[in-house]
Amino acid sequence: SRIVADTHGKVGINWGVYGVPETYVVDGKGIVRFKLVGQLTPKAMTEQLLPEIEKARQAS
């Protein structure tokens, strides 16, 4: 597992980021499996992001 920050915004442009913040889940094959647009709140983390991370792990 890795967490990456695009501090200069170059990767985001290539991925089609149109607003900030945006959070992506990318599987081990480099496929974007989930995109969350907006603030990463504790509720979004537990109800959306963590389940999608688990799905991406299973798909890899």
Q: How far is CA 17 from the centre of its chain?
A: 11
Tokens of 5: 């920050």
pLDDT tens for each residue of 22-48: 898 988 888 899 999 889 999 999 999
CB 36 within 8 A of CB 22: yes
- The torsion region of residue 38 among left (phi > 0), alpha (psi -120 to 50) and beta comes to left
What's the mean pLDDT when you consider all of the chain? Answer: 86
Domain ranges of the chain: 10-59
The CATH classification number of 10-59 equals 3.40.30.10
Give me the helices (H) in the chain, please: 10-15, 42-44, 50-59
Q: What is the pLDDT of residue 1?
A: 67
Mean of pLDDT values over 9-23: 79
